[in-house]
Amino acid sequence: MSQTSQAFVDAHPSAQDNAVTVRGVSKNYGAVEALKNMSLEFPRGQLTSLLGPSGCGKTTLLKIIAGLLKADSGEIIVNGKAVTGPGPNRAFVFQDFALLPWASVLRNVAFGLELRGVAKSEREAKAEKYIKDVGLAGFEHSFPHELSGGMRQRVGLARALSVDAQVLLLDEPFSAVDEQTRRKFQEDLLALVANENKTFIFVTHSIEEAVYVSDQIAILLPRPSRVHEIIRPSNFRAKGIDNIRRDPEYLDIVDEIWASLRNYVE
Amino acid sequence: MKNRSLLLKILSAVLVFGAWEVAGRIPVSYAFPTFLESMSSLLRMTLDGSIFVAYAETLKPLIVGVAISTVLGIGLGLWIGLSEKFEWLFSPIFIVMQAAPLAALIPLLVMAYGIGLTSKVFVVCIMAMPVIVLNTSGAVRNTPESLKEMGRSFMAKDHHVLLKIIIPAASPVIFSGLRLGVSAGFIGAILAELKITPTGVGDIISYSRSIADYPSMYAAIFSIILLAVLFLNLLEKIENILFEGNDRGYVTD
């Protein structure tokens, strides 16, 4: 991290505390501009959705924040430090689950800790706790092919939680599971955000899902990719999860987002 | 379920051996002995120990050749799968080796390495190695991208990605290459004994044919097939011990 940006962080203890800051990030794939001079802030302890039509670069941005892709220019600041690659302060949940098919649920959940050299008994104890937390107790010794899609993603989530990273990056985590499981996941995610004191960055293409789970929604538009608007739903979040979907503000925001995205969907 | 599959295996063996016995009794050819004649020959060779003497000779090039092919084949396959440059350099050699008619190359090998063990080991390797190398490299290259990405996102070092992700992910295909390679190695070992110098099991086959002792000839052929099947089963057991999660059941046992 350069000294100037450290000075910048020190000199501006901003009103809101950002866990992740994206500053002027650009990324090209050959002649295609995936991201162009993008800047975004992700408040600590909150869930921010990246929402947009396909091709708007939301997964690219998430992978750059994860350190899996290098930005061509600009920088990512996580907890005051510039990102140079994958780090212990971020954990990733994959769209296709990315579970090891030859490993049991227990080993899959403990895999992040295994890669960090944590002793077997310690990492398995930790993994067992998170397996219970995500509601998979009793499946520790099952293999991924024996689980349903929803249960597999719970394994992916437990793996990300077990490494105890402050920032969780979720890449369309619920797009491969059925609608009912998805709703349950969304409710569980709200509880997780409330209880875990972690920062969540959530990529989705579902407008309703984004509005339902997010403290802050960043609408991205493609060609060239840019942040179109940042929406912060304010009122319905405190009214309890059962009332969100019929709250007038919720419905208005969903309509408003669709109105601005409509022209970009082929 | 377990009992039923065992029952089916026994039934299948009875059908094949029964058909053999019937065909031998008709007889379909003067040179085709019955199953029982062949088995009594096998028993005689086992009791007088001549089959063990023969296998001591045959197993030398077979085991050396299969061991070299396994270690070198998997090693080269991993390297070829991981490095594009190495693939351009070595992949064509193995594709040519796999396509070459081996019997036609044997005179060349004999000219270069004589009629001893070296030539026979070469024949086994030429038979066994290409499929092991090509399967391994193909499997390594087809490791799911998202698994490697997952490893990197949880801060895996390069050797972790290789040992904990790429090799286990490739292992089912590597082992299927090994099974094909080992079977080809058995073919190579017998071919070498028939084409280079008649020793071991190859000697029993060609000698009994020349004196019209067909039961002994078929007994030798039967024994080598039996050995190959047992070896493939052993290989599968090893796979299930090393890579527990691969166990979805195969049909070889």
Q: What is the ipTM of this complex?
A: 0.83
Residue A12: pLDDT band (50, 70, 90) is very low
pLDDT of residue B251: 35
Residue B46 has pLDDT above 90, yes or no: yes
DSSP string, B20-60: HHHHHHTTS-TT---HHHHHHHHHHHHHTTHHHHHHHHHHH
Question: What are the extents of the domains in chain A?
Answer: 3-89+197-264
- Would you say A37 and A26 are in contact if contact means Cβ atoms under 8 Å apart? yes
Residue B84: pLDDT band (50, 70, 90) is confident
Interface of A with B in 247-266 (CB under 8 A): none
User: Does 3.40.50.300 match the CATH number of domain A3-89+197-264?
Assistant: yes
Average confidence (pLDDT) over B206-229: 93
- Would you say B166 and B148 are in contact if contact means Cβ atoms under 8 Å apart? yes
Q: Which residue of A has its CA nearest to B160?
A: A115
Residue B183: pLDDT band (50, 70, 90) is very high
| Crossing angle (nearest 10°) for helices B167-195 and B117-141 | 160
pLDDT of residue A7: 45
Determine the Cα–Cα distance for residues A94 and A231; give it in Å rounded to an integer.
25
Considering CB atoms only, which of B155, B168, B243 is closest to A115? B155
Residue A231 has pLDDT above 90, yes or no: no
Considering CB atoms only, which of A87, A88, A94 is closest to B150? A94
Whether A87 and B149 lie within 8 Å, measured CB to CB: no
A229 touching chain B per CB within 8 A: no
Name which of A8-17, B103-112, B135-144 the model is least confident about.
Answer: A8-17
Determine the Cα–Cα distance for residues B231 and A92; give it in Å rounded to an integer.
43
Chain B residue numbers with beta carbons less than 8 Å from the beta carbon of A88 are 155
DSSP symbol at B14: H
Determine the Cα–Cα distance for residues A211 and A236; give it in Å rounded to an integer.
10
Residue B253 has pLDDT above 50, yes or no: no
Determine the Cα–Cα distance for residues A172 and A51; give it in Å rounded to an integer.
10
CA distance readout (Å), B50 to A110, A135, B55, B160, B228? 56, 64, 9, 50, 19
Residue B252: pLDDT band (50, 70, 90) is very low
Distance from CA of A89 to the nearest CA of B (A): 10
Considering CB atoms only, which of B160, B245, B246 is closest to A115? B160
Residue B30 has pLDDT above 80, yes or no: yes
- Residues B69-242: name the CATH superfamily: MetI-like (1.10.3720.10)
Report the mean per-residue pLDDT for chain B. Answer: 89
Considering CB atoms only, which of B154, B168, B245 is closest to A115? B154
DSSP symbol at A90: E
Whether A98 and B165 lie within 8 Å, measured CB to CB: no
* Of B150 and A6, the one with more pLDDT: B150
Residue A11 has pLDDT above 60, yes or no: no
Name which of A44-58, A116-130, B211-225 the model is least confident about.
Answer: A44-58
